[in-house]
């Protein structure tokens, strides 16, 4: 049996109750076959794949806090430090009721390769809690964040592990967590990224994931003799990534006609009004029905359905496994040319294959949404040199990073005779750097 298949079997047997983690591992290991086969003896002797699929360590802890009625609530917190071969652990904190060990492990595992692709010195990690910020008062969110950080602060540090935002964790949550870290440790350091601009945050970090997604999509189109101008774009989600992806797509001359949240979706043939969407989601923290109520051209639909809308480009920006095989079939039938993932693992493996087999240019999240963590790394750099760069400086570095990622993954795919397979290219390019660093550093 090949080394890849052996490790896959072992990972499946060992993590049977973690379907998202298995899905992420399968996707990566499967596409690494040509690289592993070419160096099987070394990789097998070094147990590279076993070491990559086993986190360095994982923390799981109780998070007690008091709600506005005086009732004590208990959540479960996580931080999984996956691999620090090329830099301190780096990755977001997800606050969502669905969070469990398997979800954090899939995100932490993917973060290793994504962070490597940025070209910056950051390792892979992820964390979060099964806490739902929705419908909570600011005081309740603060109580939760303080309790969460009271435990988390034992495991992180500016040169150790640097968390950031993800689903449910935005500037408000990062602020409360940063305050608590500082109070307990008496250290003012860049231990978190996505901080507010008055206390060490970087300009353009808020926009970075969505903007980065469009920079790589634009490069993809350009390299196929196309542009963003006049294209119809379908986007899912209505959070941080979706909002700034919409904004940048519009700045590039495309028309974004959808957005969605966990209860329903909007079709707006005139193009999404980003300022209104920001008001509804960032300020009021309300449902999309409020967007529809305020905008004549918008239709609101319950449930899911954005992928049924005819488009040139689809950008899934909500959550994992939100684009299924039937959605892929509908997009292909409607003439969609390109799919780039703003979210982490939003497309199922069979849907991804369907796109690739039907000539759709497909860039997976590890490459396409790397602009967020790349800009987090730029925030770390600014914190280390105790300086703040201008928006234009950060944004131009972000653009360059995304263009470089596109060409690196394109080249890696070509090197292995798989031109246009950007999923394989991303996994290979991300893997090679980490594997080399692991071997150079010995058995640790």
Which residues sit at the interface with ligand NDP, rule CB under 6 A?
Answer: 165-168, 209, 237-242, 261-263, 317-319, 342-344, 369, 372
**Cβ neighbours of residue 187 under 8 Å, at least 6 residues apart?**
181
Interacting partner of 133 out of ligand 2IT, ligand NDP, none (Cβ under 5 to 8 A depending on kind): none
The footprint of ligand 2IT on residues 98-137 (CB under 6 A) is: 114
> Using CA atoms, how far apart are residues 444 and 435, in angstroms rounded to an integer?
13
Binding mask 55-94 for ligand 2IT (x = CB under 6 A): -----------------------------------xxx--
Residues in contact with ligand 2IT, counted by CB under 6 A, come to a total of: 11
The footprint of ligand 2IT on residues 368-407 (CB under 6 A) is: 372-373, 376
Q: What is the dihedral angle through the alpha carbons of 57, 159, 122, 58, rounded to the nearest 10 degrees? A: 10
Per CB under 6 A, the list member of 31, 218, 247, 344 interacting with ligand 2IT is: 344
Residues tagged active-site: 126
> Using CA atoms, how far apart are residues 323 and 314, in angstroms rounded to an integer?
10
| Distance in Å, CB of 91 to ligand 2IT, minimum | 5
| Distance in Å, CB of 114 to ligand 2IT, minimum | 6
Interface with ligand 2IT, residue 193, by CB under 6 A: yes
Q: Are strands 255-256 and 72-83 parallel, antiparallel or unpaired?
A: unpaired
Closer to ligand NDP by Cβ: residue 8 or 268: 268
CB contact at 8 A, 353 and 360: no
| Distance in Å, CB of 130 to ligand 2IT, minimum | 17
Task: Give CA separation, 29 vs 2, 26, 49, in Å.
Answer: 11, 5, 8
Sheet of strand 161-164: strand arrangement:
57-66, 72-83, 123-129, 89-95, 161-164
Interacting partner of 90 out of ligand NDP, ligand 2IT, none (Cβ under 5 to 8 A depending on kind): ligand 2IT
Binding mask 139-178 for ligand 2IT (x = CB under 6 A): -------------------------x-x------------
| Distance in Å, CB of 104 to ligand 2IT, minimum | 11
Closer to ligand NDP by Cβ: residue 237 or 364: 237
Closer to ligand NDP by Cβ: residue 118 or 319: 319
Closer to ligand 2IT by Cβ: residue 143 or 380: 380
Interacting partner of 150 out of ligand NDP, ligand 2IT, none (Cβ under 5 to 8 A depending on kind): none
- Chain-centroid distance of CA 115 in Å reads 10
CB contact at 8 A, 107 and 166: yes
| Distance in Å, CB of 319 to ligand NDP, minimum | 4
| Distance in Å, CB of 45 to ligand 2IT, minimum | 32
Closer to ligand NDP by Cβ: residue 49 or 318: 318
| Distance in Å, CB of 402 to ligand 2IT, minimum | 13
**Cβ neighbours of residue 385 under 8 Å, at least 6 residues apart?**
none
Residue closest to ligand 2IT when measured from CB atoms: 92
Radius of gyration of the chain from Cα atoms? 21
Q: Are strands 264-267 and 299-302 parallel, antiparallel or unpaired?
A: antiparallel
CB contact at 8 A, 33 and 5: no
Closer to ligand 2IT by Cβ: residue 114 or 287: 114
Interacting partner of 241 out of ligand NDP, ligand 2IT, none (Cβ under 5 to 8 A depending on kind): ligand NDP
Residue of 326, 311, 169, 165 whose CA lies nearest to 235: 311
| Torsions phi, psi for 356 (to 5 deg) | -65, -40
Q: What is the dihedral angle through the alpha carbons of 202, 132, 212, 387, rounded to the nearest 10 degrees? A: 10
Closer to ligand NDP by Cβ: residue 232 or 258: 258
Is 45 exposed, middle or buried, given 0-12, 13-18 or 19+ CB atoms closer than 10 A?
exposed
Interacting partner of 55 out of ligand 2IT, ligand NDP, none (Cβ under 5 to 8 A depending on kind): none
**Cβ neighbours of residue 176 under 8 Å, at least 6 residues apart?**
141, 142, 145, 146, 149
| Distance in Å, CB of 210 to ligand NDP, minimum | 8
Find the helix or strand (DSSP H, E) in which 378 lies. Answer: helix 370-384
Count of residues in the chain: 444
Beta-strand ranges (E) seen in 98-171 are 123-129, 161-164
Closer to ligand NDP by Cβ: residue 167 or 249: 167
Residue of 56, 53, 40 whose CA lies nearest to 14: 53
Interacting partner of 167 out of ligand 2IT, ligand NDP, none (Cβ under 5 to 8 A depending on kind): ligand NDP
Q: Which residues bind ligand 2IT (CB under 6 A)?
A: 90-92, 114, 164, 166, 193, 344, 372-373, 376
């Amino acid at each position: 049996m090949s080394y890849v298949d052996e490790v896959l079997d072992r990972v499946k047997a060992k993590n049977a109750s973690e379907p998202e983690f298995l899905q992420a591992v399968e996707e990566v290991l499967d596409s690494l076959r040509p690289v592993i086969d070419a160096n099987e003896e070394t990789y097998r002797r070094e147990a590279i794949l076993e070491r990559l699929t086993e986190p360095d360590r994982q923390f799981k802890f109780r998070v007690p806090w008091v709600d506005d009625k005086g009732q004590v609530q208990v959540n479960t917190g996580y931080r999984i430090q996956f691999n620090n071969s090329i830099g301190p652990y780096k990755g977001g904190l997800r606050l969502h009721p669905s969070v469990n060990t398997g979800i954090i492990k899939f995100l932490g595992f993917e973060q290793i390769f994504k962070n490597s692709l940025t070209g910056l010195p950051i390792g892979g990690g992820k964390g979060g809690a099964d806490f739902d910020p929705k419908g909570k008062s600011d005081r309740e969110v603060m109580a939760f964040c303080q309790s969460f950080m009271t435990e988390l602060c034992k495991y992180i540090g500016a040169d150790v592990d640097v968390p950031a935002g993800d689903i449910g964790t935005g500037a408000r949550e990062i602020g409360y967590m940063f305050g608590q870290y500082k109070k307990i440790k008496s250290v003012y350091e860049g231990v978190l990224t996505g901080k507010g601009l008055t206390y060490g945050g970087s300009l353009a970090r808020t926009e970075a994931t969505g903007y980065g997604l469009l920079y790589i999509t634009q490069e993809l189109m350009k390299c196929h003799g196309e542009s963003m101008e006049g294209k119809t774009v379908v986007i899912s989600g209505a959070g941080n990534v979706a909002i700034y992806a919409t904004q940048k797509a519009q700045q590039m001359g495309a028309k974004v006609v959808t957005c969605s949240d966990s209860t329903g979706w909007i079709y707006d043939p005139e193009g999404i009004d980003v300022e209104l969407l920001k008001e509804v989601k960032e300020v009021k923290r309300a449902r999309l029905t409020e967007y529809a109520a305020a905008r004549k051209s918008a239709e609101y639909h319950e449930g899911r359905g954005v992928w049924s809308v005819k488009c040139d480009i689809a950008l899934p920006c909500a959550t994992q496994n939100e684009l299924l095989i039937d959605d892929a079939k509908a997009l292909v039938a409607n003439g969609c040319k390109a799919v780039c993932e703003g979210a982490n693992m939003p497309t199922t493996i069979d849907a991804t294959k369907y796109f690739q087999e039907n000539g759709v240019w497909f860039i997976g999240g590890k490459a396409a949404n790397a602009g967020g963590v790349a800009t987090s790394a730029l925030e770390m750099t600014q914190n280390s040199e105790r300086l703040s760069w201008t928006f234009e400086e950060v944004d131009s570095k972000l653009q360059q990073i995304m263009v470089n990622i596109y060409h690196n993954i394109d080249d890696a795919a070509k090197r292995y005779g798989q031109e246009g397979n950007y999923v394989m290219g991303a996994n290979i390019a991300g893997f090679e750097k980490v594997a080399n660093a692991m071997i150079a550093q010995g058995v640790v």
